[in-house]
Structure 1
């Protein structure tokens, strides 16, 4: 068995999980479980943070360790589910290292939502929050279109590798500006409802949830890192919207 390829493959699985938004405890457990399914592995352990992974295994009295840098990625719950399913399948039906690497490549190559699907469901989400906040039919419809605008801007900026802080700030500013322009054309609309409904698309709900889960699980470094990330996202939204509102008034 190619032990170095096994180590690299397990590291790649953990990296994909972290980049997809999985909580640290899940990543560590999945990596160790996958590694121990291979015959001859005497010891396996991992240490995962939001920005890096350290993994060590012992095979034939020889210990190998690798450190991997992790960069922030897009939330992909389907990828997390696929890798977790793969780890459970390995436990019941062992496979070779090459087969595991092939499965991970297949999962990595799976297409996410198309641009049109992203726009559509972003718009539906914004409209849904318009209903939640007791908006009128007109405000719900306007929130729908602002949701499309936010997703278009966010996807465009992400494609050009703009950092998440500026991405959220520009998206929030665009949403606030759109709501103000709509209010000028349709004075009966409520700016607050349209702005808040569309901003819910930018709120880092998964990051906040994982920050709480990691902290409760004792992974304080990752918990604080995720909380800081969520806080910066909230600040970016406030800066973008505040800039527009200040100069508009």
Structure 2
């Protein structure tokens, strides 16, 4: 075999998986498995969110190194699913370089998501969470309009602006301007609650949660990069909102409250998470699984919080459920667990706290900024700890079944 081309093919798959939203440690596992299947004597894989490096020693004793720099990502869980299946195919069949290239191009050339899906996704996600966070009917109408604006302008802007701070700043500014103007016209009441739902479309605290998770797993570089990227996006939102408030001399904070009706909470968060499943380009029955996961995630949170009013404990227990749900669904569907985990965990993501941290800084309300920061960090920690608990238990279960759960260089060296 032409091992240079084989390594290039493996790296092509890895780069596309990273761009599509693969978790670092899962991607590392996939690359080590493919390298092992081709009989490389030694393999070294290094991954951070913007870079992939692989060094291998071929059976002939040749040392090969290839590096890829990843500038931008666009979450596409449907493509990630098919790339994951391609990894399985490679490990089972070890195709030659020509076949590997053909199979890779088949995945890249799959039909894209219907253009209308993103509009439904934006409206469902932004408006669903706006209702979830206490918006009334007229507020929801404003949320629909702003959500459609974000989809239309965001699609145009994404082709011209790669800087996340500027991208979020422009969209947040336009969103806040529309919200303030419509409330002045008598359409809508709670500007902050509307914006909280909209913020979920721009950036969530999921990046911070994944960053904390990476840090707890001693992947320090990836952890800090994820956290800093999340804060960069948050800063863009803060600047955009602040600029709109200053120019229009408006801006109020009534504080969000979850919808008083628990059925409405469950329905609205399920609709919103279904929208986010489509937003992340999940397709088919996996959208349904993500919606079911979100419904039960919030139901478990409410139950635990009712029995013991602790946001940290309720979030921890609910995130443990999400982790196991994603683990089971990934085995049933032979798909990456992150597909089911990402959309299902959204009801727990502290988007409102992120908004009020920014609002406190803009309005110079230090007490608000500090208190919301503490809640933000504790919630992210609870989610991260929940995921790690599931990861630990899953690893022990797979070990008891004598099946590989996570392949690393240490595993490969020990097997040689």
Matches of 2:188 and 2:223, distance apart in 1: 44
Shift, 1:154, TM fit: 1.0
Residue 224 of structure 2 corresponds to which residue in structure 1?
A: 224
Q: In the superposition, relative to structure 1, how do residues 194 and 77 fare at CA in structure 2: closer, same or farther (>3 Å)? A: same
1:14 and 1:31 in contact (8 A); partners too: yes
2:161 and 2:167 in contact (8 A); partners too: no
- SS of structure 2 residue aligned to 1:200: helix
RMSD of aligned residue pairs (Cα, Å): 1.7
Matches of 2:220 and 2:111, distance apart in 1: 33
Shift, 1:131, TM fit: 1.5
Matches of 1:123 and 1:175, distance apart in 2: 14
Residue 191 of structure 2 corresponds to which residue in structure 1?
A: 191
Write the deviation string for residues 183-206 of structure 1: whole angstroms up to 9, x where unpaired: 011255221222221111112444
Residue 45 of structure 2 corresponds to which residue in structure 1?
A: 46
Write the deviation string for residues 147-188 of structure 1: whole angstroms up to 9, x where unpaired: 010111111111224422211110011110110111011255
- SS of structure 1 residue aligned to 2:33: helix
Residue 139 of structure 1 corresponds to which residue in structure 2?
A: 139
Q: In the superposition, relative to structure 1, how do residues 238 and 161 fare at CA in structure 2: closer, same or farther (>3 Å)? A: closer
Residue 207 of structure 1 corresponds to which residue in structure 2?
A: 207
Matches of 2:205 and 2:16, distance apart in 1: 20
- SS of structure 1 residue aligned to 2:201: coil
Shift, 1:229, TM fit: 0.3
Residue 90 of structure 1 corresponds to which residue in structure 2?
A: 90
Write the deviation string for residues 22-50 of structure 1: whole angstroms up to 9, x where unpaired: 22111111111112212x42222211112
Shift, 1:8, TM fit: 0.7
Residue 81 of structure 2 corresponds to which residue in structure 1?
A: 81
When normalised by structure 1's length, the TM-score is 0.92
User: Is the counterpart of residue 56 in structure 1 residue 55 in structure 2?
Assistant: yes
- SS of structure 1 residue aligned to 2:135: coil
Residue 171 of structure 1 corresponds to which residue in structure 2?
A: 171
Q: In the superposition, relative to structure 1, how do residues 227 and 188 fare at CA in structure 2: closer, same or farther (>3 Å)? A: closer
- SS of structure 1 residue aligned to 2:45: strand
Matches of 1:72 and 1:223, distance apart in 2: 17
Residue 130 of structure 1 corresponds to which residue in structure 2?
A: 130
Q: In the superposition, relative to structure 1, how do residues 105 and 117 fare at CA in structure 2: closer, same or farther (>3 Å)? A: same
Moved more, 224-233 or 160-169: 160-169
Shift, 1:141, TM fit: 2.1
Shift, 1:111, TM fit: 4.2
Matches of 1:114 and 1:161, distance apart in 2: 23
Write the deviation string for residues 62-83 of structure 1: whole angstroms up to 9, x where unpaired: 1111122111211112222222
Q: Which runs of 5+ in 1 are unaligned?
A: none
Q: In the superposition, relative to structure 1, how do residues 9 and 204 fare at CA in structure 2: closer, same or farther (>3 Å)? A: farther
Matches of 2:188 and 2:56, distance apart in 1: 65
Residue 244 of structure 2 corresponds to which residue in structure 1?
A: 244
When normalised by structure 2's length, the TM-score is 0.57
Residue 14 of structure 1 corresponds to which residue in structure 2?
A: 14
Whose strand proportion is higher, 1 or 2?
1
2:164 and 2:232 in contact (8 A); partners too: no
Matches of 1:230 and 1:198, distance apart in 2: 16
Matches of 1:173 and 1:225, distance apart in 2: 25
Matches of 1:61 and 1:94, distance apart in 2: 19
Q: In the superposition, relative to structure 1, how do residues 242 and 131 fare at CA in structure 2: closer, same or farther (>3 Å)? A: same
Write the deviation string for residues 64-109 of structure 1: whole angstroms up to 9, x where unpaired: 1112211121111222222222212333344323222222222222
1:23 and 1:213 in contact (8 A); partners too: no
1:21 and 1:74 in contact (8 A); partners too: yes
2:43 and 2:56 in contact (8 A); partners too: yes
| Matched length | 248
Residue 117 of structure 1 corresponds to which residue in structure 2?
A: 117
2:6 and 2:96 in contact (8 A); partners too: no
Moved more, 110-119 or 58-67: 110-119
Whose helix proportion is higher, 1 or 2?
2
Q: Which runs of 5+ in 2 are unaligned?
A: 250-416
